[in-house]
Structure 1
Amino acid sequence: MSDLNVLFRKRIGIPEQEQLRFEKLDELLVKTAEKIPFENLCIMEKRTRELTNENVMDKILLQNEGGLCYELNYILYLFLKENGFDTKLIRGVVYNQMKQEWSKTGKTHVATLIQHNGKFFLMDTGFGGNLPLKPVPLSGETVSSTNGDFRVERVDSEHGDYQLHMKIKHKDQNWRIGYAFDTNNHVKSVEDLEEIQTIIKEHPESAFNKRPLITKLTSKGNMTLTPDSFTEWVDGQEKKKGIDEKTFNELKRMYFGL
């Protein structure tokens, strides 16, 4: 068993000898979402490194940090490959519901596509609090998890050939678009991810180079930390409080291990 396989299992709490079957991927996604936070501290603290297998492993599996989509889904992709799954990394464009427009950073969202028994499924562990927590079939079928309802629809556009639609539990009354993605636009090398990281770091419209953001799912909802607030969703109830820099650093360690 490779170092990556051992370390990833240890980080999220899967026994070393347990065979990873397709039917167990729901559990894998839940454990990953609860153990590895979505966060942009490396970008905000200007300590990003070249994206290599070794550097991403070191950051997430040895230093026990989190990351953004191009890191979280990349480590998931490597782990799935190690365990015999037919998988590819794909690029997508996030839809901003508040502004009713597609992200001006372009195809900077990274997710995972797997093939099982001749069918394709979208997997994503790098979409903040909007994680499906299950493989979502590209057939249009709705899947439901503790985080809400999700489906992938065939929509040909300049942004790709499919869209992820979602209805987050306790938050969305109606379906909304998460992102569009292109099943034909695979991430061919880690250099593609380096390009994405550069855009996220430098683009004036990037949502992740303005202020620190840390979020992760919990067994009862999710929690989000910014420099001035800490928000918890517990069984559909929102609790939000204002904080200062000292409290931010304390909560960062206490709840996210960062």
Structure 2
Amino acid sequence: MTSSVLSSNVEEGWKNYDDFAAGIDTNRLPGSCDWANRTLDIQFDNQQILNLVFDVNRVTWSYQGESGHDVYEEVKTSENHYFFDLQLAHKPNESLTFVLNQKSGRVLAVRSVILAEGQIEEGSRLVQTFLVGSILGMTPANIVPAPTRELIGYRTLNVYSPNHYYEHFYVNSKRYAWQNLRGEQFGQGDMDYATCYKFEEDMYVFTFREKVIPVCSVFFFDYKIGRCTGKFLGLSRDNQPMVTRAGALIYKMSYNCYPVGVEPM
């Protein structure tokens, strides 16, 4: 074992986050800069407002007494949908990620946090909070983003690159299982903590928090186009916060149908 950032219960042969992350953005949609030199105000259901002023590479933001001028990434995933990720310079163990539909005005944000060493919440060093909101000044349309069970029972394949094939099985409302079919983690797998929100029809925001490796994810699944766009936040083998872009071609392979009277949590 070359690093202490992995769980003490780790099996022999497990990789660190940075041992397999390189290239996991190969099949990712390209970045965009449609929001450069524009302002965006988002009002969340808690009535708090996130103010954002974008330039080409950085965004000036303020929210609940906090503010910053940080590097951000924008990806246009379809005509009206965008994926944003902010790396918070004053809190390198945190990041803010959100998805929006500029036509409907709907927004879903996820704040991801790496807990201090020795802190564990629900089996992981990663915690995530979810905020549902809308673009200020718009009357939001379509469904309100909300937790969903729609993926439970599906077995899917995510192809991030020629060297990153991962199978997912959505087990219940709190967990999903994965295994690596091709790549540095070949043959490895686990059942980790997960959260899934429905954003629109065939569109989901899916996150997970691993137990063994201190890493979490935020992904926007768009099954209409068969692509996902996302990021990982975790600790490198040197115990440093690390953000990695990721994206994949996604395929629904099968569905597990439960008999009447039997259903997962």
- TM-score bucket of the superposed structures, by smaller chain: 0.3 to 0.5
**Bigger strand share:** 2
- TM (normalized to structure 1)? 0.33
